[in-house]
């Protein structure tokens, strides 16, 4: 082997290894072209040893033929001293002969005469899951899930808090992404200091951070959250710039529950979004209480979640009729999800839908709901050719880039007329970009699919959504209908909503109709259709068929 200073090469290698965060570390002696590689790289790429001679040529042999020209040009510029940094993405051959996409980054160290002396850096396998976050130097989401599995395997009781920074995109827009990354780095340092000895911090997706503890109480989390809020409001600077941050946070306590990490993460995300959407950023603690069936809530949620994997076993749909306000003839029905099994009986959707919406399995359940509703509604069309089935959407479904294609594919598969389908969205869709929603619903409307805005009037953005999106139907929330005969404020609200919808060429459905008097009173307004217990509670398919189709 060529002569080189092994002691110095190894010392530099140790220094670079500290910052590798799971990547494959290397340091090259620029004069001898001998490179020290990590043992993990030797094993993964099948290198002959930790010390590799003729690095440029030997390494290039493993680079994909189509990527070699770019690799050779860039690395030659580095070793000639023309440039000081190497940052290139290319495909590499592994020990088993397959190719993976990797990113190779390195910096040149010059000697006292300015000539290339050493070159060090790391190769990151883009095809593998990274257990460390490069920006914050904390464990990543994958590390979080791995550690959660380990803690549960050991039977440990753990407490978790998920904390996120609000409106971080505005900070990036003002100062740029480089400064934004510095903010995240300094914030990571601050929260580690505030929670020193309390638990392990993780950088999750986006601007979310989580801490996992095994001795904390919810009061400990509340106090920690208050300290972080105070520091970020009064004493947080980055590069001499005062930065003010605001947060949302959710927490859960797990007492030796045998549930997968993915279920725990879905529950944690639910608590986080409850803080964001309903509690003005206050810490929201998801209580894992024992329910009427003597089982923990999260344990039951895990069983329901696993049902999705088993071809949505235990799920079924009920249908609540929608009638013409004047003739009271059935013109459609809303499909409503239910779940049951022998152990738990029937579990109402209010106890699982909001949590499952945070789960990456929910889009699969959404496909099952849509397909089942269309198959059932084809039977209703025999009796009512103009029948429209309403299917509720979650914002997590709308986030999927292939959502429109999925809907059209299921319609084609079932051979169901798109003009007889109405997709319902709720206030939660305000979490998505309005331009994205407009694009999605414009495409759906071009195929004849109808769009309903549910729970209208209960949130701050209903009017904005109605103005921006091609909504065909507005559904007035039952809270405005319950006291319609006596409450003048509700009467004014219903009148305003019905006239507003009419101005946007949208029809109006009133929900929560429970008496004939309510129906009679609502006829004073521009209400096209009605829905509620006065006509029928939600019915399973066979009962709906007996009452409305076969009768």
DSSP label at residue 441:
H
Select from 106, 148, 145, 152 the least CA-distant residue to 129: 145
The yes-or-no verdict on residue 20 having pLDDT over 80 is no
Token code pair at residue 550: 């076969």
The yes-or-no verdict on residue 19 having pLDDT over 70 is no
Q: Please, what's the largest Cα pairwise distance for the chain?
A: 98
**372 membership: H or E segment, kind and range:** helix 362-383
Select from 403, 280, 298, 317 the least CA-distant residue to 356: 298
d(CA 368, CA 184): 40
The yes-or-no verdict on residue 413 having pLDDT over 90 is yes
- The 10 Å CB-count burial string (b at 16+, else e) for 285-321 is bbebeeeeeeebbbbbbbbbbebbeeebebbebbbbb
d(CA 544, CA 540): 6
Report residue 96's pLDDT band, with 50, 70 and 90 as the boundaries: confident
Report residue 293's pLDDT band, with 50, 70 and 90 as the boundaries: very low
The yes-or-no verdict on residue 444 having pLDDT over 60 is yes
For residues 29 and 11, the answer to whether their CB atoms sit within 8 Å is: no
d(CA 97, CA 163): 42
pLDDT of residue 292: 46
Would the pTM of this model clear 0.85, i.e. be above it?
A: no
Which alpha helices (DSSP H) does 195-217 contain, by range? none
d(CA 404, CA 130): 32
pLDDT of residue 2: 67
Mean pLDDT computed over every residue of the chain: 87
First to last CA, the chain: 91
Which alpha helices (DSSP H) does 195-284 contain, by range? 218-234, 261-278
For residues 24 and 40, the answer to whether their CB atoms sit within 8 Å is: yes
d(CA 49, CA 41): 10
Higher-confidence residue of 405 and 157: namely 405
- Residue ranges and CATH numbers for the domains of the chain are 6-125 (3.30.450.20), 141-286 (3.30.70.270), 310-549 (3.20.20.450)
């Amino acid at each position: 082997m060529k002569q080189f200073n092994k002691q110095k090469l190894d010392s530099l290698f140790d220094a670079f290894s500290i910052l590798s965060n799971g990547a494959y570390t290397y340091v090259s002696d620029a004069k001898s072209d001998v490179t020290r590689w990590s043992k993990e790289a030797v094993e993964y790429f099948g290198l002959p040893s930790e010390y590799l001679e003729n690095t440029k040529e030997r390494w290039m042999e493993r680079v994909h033929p189509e990527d070699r020209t770019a690799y050779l040009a860039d690395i030659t510029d580095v070793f000639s001293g023309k440039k000081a940094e190497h940052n290139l993405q290319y495909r590499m051959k592994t020990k088993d002969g397959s190719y993976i996409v990797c990113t190779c980054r390195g910096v040149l160290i010059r000697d006292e005469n300015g000539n290339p002396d050493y070159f060090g850096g790391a190769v990151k396998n883009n095809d593998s899951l990274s257990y460390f976050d490069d920006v914050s130097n904390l464990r990543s989401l994958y590390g979080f899930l791995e550690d959660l599995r380990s803690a549960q395997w050991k039977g440990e009781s753990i407490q978790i808090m998920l904390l996120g920074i609000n409106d971080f995109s505005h900070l990036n827009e003002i100062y740029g992404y480089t400064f934004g990354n510095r903010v995240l780095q300094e914030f990571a340092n601050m929260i580690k200091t505030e929670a020193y000895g309390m638990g392990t911090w993780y950088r999750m997706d986006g601007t979310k951070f989580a801490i996992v503890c095994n001795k904390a109480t919810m009061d400990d989390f509340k106090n920690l959250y208050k300290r972080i809020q105070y520091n970020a409001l009064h004493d947080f600077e980055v590069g001499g710039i005062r930065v003010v941050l605001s947060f949302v946070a959710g927490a859960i306590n797990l007492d030796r529950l045998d549930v997968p990490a993915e279920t725990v993460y879905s529950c944690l995300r639910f608590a986080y979004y409850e803080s964001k959407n309903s509690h003005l950023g206050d810490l929201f603690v998801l209580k894992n209480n024992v329910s009427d069936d003597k089982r923990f809530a999260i344990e039951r949620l895990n069983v329901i979640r696993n049902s999705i994997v088993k071809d949505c076993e235990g799920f079924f749909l009920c249908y609540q009729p929608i009638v013409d306000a004047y003739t009271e003839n059935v013109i459609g029905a809303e499909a409503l999800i239910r779940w049951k099994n022998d152990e738990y009986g029937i579990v109402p959707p209010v106890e699982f839908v909001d949590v499952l919406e945070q789960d990456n399995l929910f889009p699969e359940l959404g496909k099952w709901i849509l397909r089942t509703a269309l198959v059932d509604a084809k039977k209703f069309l025999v009796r009512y050719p103009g029948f429209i089935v309403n299917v509720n959407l979650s914002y997590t479904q709308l986030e999927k880039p292939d959502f429109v294609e999925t809907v059209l594919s299921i319609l084609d598969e079932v051979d169901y007329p798109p003009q007889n389908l109405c997709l319902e969205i709720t206030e939660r869709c305000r979490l998505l970009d309005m331009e994205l929603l407009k694009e999605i619903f414009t495409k759906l409307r071009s195929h004849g699919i109808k769009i309903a805005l549910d729970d209208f009037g209960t949130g701050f953005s209903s009017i904005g959504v109605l103005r921006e999106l091609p909504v065909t139907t507005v559904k007035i929330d039952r809270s405005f209908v319950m006291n319609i005969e006596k409450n003048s404020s509700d009467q004014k609200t219903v009148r305003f909503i019905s006239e507003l919808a009419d101005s946007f060429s949208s029809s109006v459905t009133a929900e929560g109709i429970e008496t004939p008097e309510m129906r009679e009173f609502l006829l004073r307004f521009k209400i096209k259709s009605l829905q509620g217990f006065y006509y029928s509670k939600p019915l399973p398919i066979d009962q709906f068929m007996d009452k409305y189709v076969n009768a």
